[in-house]
Amino acid sequence: MKKLVVAAFALGLSLSVPAQTDFRSISFQEAVNAARQEQKMVFIDFYTDWCGPCKKMARETFPQKKVGEYMNKNFVCLKLNAEKEGKELAARFEVKAYPTFVILDTNEKVQADLKGFMDGDTFIAKVKAGLNPECSPERMAERYQAGERTPELVNNYAFHMMEQRKEKEGFEIIDGYFNSLSDAQRLDKANVFLFTRYTMSIDEPKSRFMVEHRNEFDASVKEDIADRISRLYRAKAVTYFSGYQLRSNLYKEEEYLALKKEIFDLGLDKKYKYAPMFRLIEGRLTCDDDAYVAMCAKEYDSLEELDRSLLIMNLTRLIKTEDPAILKKMSEFIRTHLREMAPSCISVASRALDDIESRMNKK
């Protein structure tokens, strides 16, 4: 059965409905009693109506099959609005940020306290680590300094470093571990986190290894590997599509053409519409501003939904002009499509529109 994916880069829906996290409609005391009877712990998701990361957890993480299976097996789960029915419990457990996830034993003692949005793999790993005394920050440091290099420790310790905003130290742990492994060890599914969690660019050594050996990973993780490869290539393509490479004087034709060739060679264009994106990237190099605005209008409907928003949000980076006629066309193009954009993108697009129209009105 395929995983249910509600994220922006969804690859498709399974015909069967996967397991989801079972948040029960019961009281706190009923949850504690149920946990005693079922030999589980109590998990509480404290959220608010206005919390964006809370909604993202509900939309993207808790519905995942692997998350649901893990949570339902180990916890009696509650979802409480910290400003409404969960207000007293939120105060009792000193909840001050959202979302906050509190795990209690059947004596109502806090065993773990986690905060913020996490993807499925990260969430499961953080819950497990939070309940494991061997994964406390102090104990992890001791184990690492003593020379332990198990996949679980490396993953949890590096992630802890990054949560403390020590990204450099975190990636030194990850890269040192990756470099110490043989090819066979890198392909072990216990080490798949190196690729699915800690690859930031398609150009780094871990990513290149992942691409070159993509068909050699265990069947149980191939979908995750394929998804990560797809995301990394698109992220690199977006640096060209958004105008970043061009405006930062980083554009090199041979690198762009190599990226384009790899995307087609890997068949990534079969699941994501890259052709209109590439036409616009290349059009920006050959068209004047007036022709490029017209090209944006022509290609807009051919783009993936995410790329439509990106085009509008980056239009003022792509087109640097003070020509009133071109500014007017840019304004008309954005206004035509503003209502179609995702709410999270509208504010950025609106600022771009205000900038364009303020310059128009000065002429």
State pLDDT tens for residues 252-268. Answer: 999 999 999 999 999 99
Nearest-CA neighbor of 114 among 173, 152, 57? 57
How far apart, in whole angstroms, are the C-alpha atoms of residue 159 and residue 141? 12
Share of the chain above pLDDT 90, in %: 83
Contact 80, 90 (CB under 8 A): yes
Q: Which two tokens stand for residue 283?
A: 């059009």
CA angle centred on 227, ends 114 and 224, rounded to 5°: 65
CATH, domain 28-121, list 3.40.50.720, 1.10.3720.10, 3.30.70.580, 3.40.30.10: 3.40.30.10
Active site residue: 54, 77, 135, 296, which one?
A: 54
pTM (predicted TM-score)? 0.76
The 3-state DSSP class for residue 113 equals: strand
pLDDT attached to residue 225: 97
Residue whose structure tokens are 């000193």 = 94
How far apart, in whole angstroms, are the C-alpha atoms of residue 338 and residue 332? 10
Confidence grade of residue 19 (pLDDT, cut at 50, 70, 90): low
Note if 296 is an active site residue.
no
Contact 259, 234 (CB under 8 A): no
Contact 356, 334 (CB under 8 A): yes
Any idea which of 30-34, 45-49, 129-133, 273-277 has the lowest mean pLDDT? 129-133
How far apart, in whole angstroms, are the C-alpha atoms of residue 191 and residue 181? 10
Confidence grade of residue 346 (pLDDT, cut at 50, 70, 90): confident
Count CB-CB contacts under 10 A for residue 222.
15
Active site residue: 51, 77, 135, 296, which one?
A: 51
Share of the chain above pLDDT 70, in %: 94
Note if 54 is an active site residue.
yes
Give first-to-last CA distance, the chain, whole Å: 60
90, with CB counted inside 10 A (0-12, 13-18, 19+), is: buried
Residues in the chain: 363
